Copies of this chain bind each other. A is one copy, B any other.
Amino acid sequence: MEKNETDRETGNLLQPKYDSNGLITAVVTDDSTGELLMLAHMNAQALQLTQESGVAHFYSRSRQCLWKKGETSGHILSVTELRIDCDQDALWVKAMPAGPACHTGEPSCFYRKIVDGKLEPVG
């Protein structure tokens, strides 16, 4: 492995590995229940704003703009911890949600399980 990669995996320097669109995947879990809430993407600005404000910001790939989660709905995500993975191409955002995280009104975007190749609502 190149030195750069070793540093990235073992060092204490934040060096997010953005993809060709300047984005990194962010996984959001509910810090009180541990449930997976949603998956989204951040660009460098969204990550910086998230760190500064303590409230999750993302980059919307469909709308191609910075996006403060909950800006219109009020369902913001208050960040309790932010982690990065081994090769620094994914973020784990632990958060306290102020309301449903999914635009459908479900608490989590993952409201269906796959059973025998079909989808079934959970809980």
Binding site for B on A (CB under 8 A): 9-14, 25, 27, 29, 34, 36, 38-39, 51, 81-87, 90, 92, 102-104, 106, 109-114, 117-120, 122
Contact = CB atoms under 8 A, between A and B. Distances in A.
Nearest to A86: B109
Nearest 7 Cβ contacts at the A-B interface: A34-B34, A85-B109, A83-B110, A82-B114, A39-B90, A12-B119, A92-B110
- Copies of chain A in the complex: 2
Contacts of A38: 85
Given A27-B39, A90-B39, A84 B104 contact: no
Contact of A39 (B25, B109, B112): B25
16 contacts: A14-B118, A14-B119, A27-B36, A29-B29, A34-B34, A39-B85, A82-B114, A83-B110, A83-B112, A83-B122, A84-B112, A84-B113, A84-B114, A84-B119, A86-B111, A92-B110
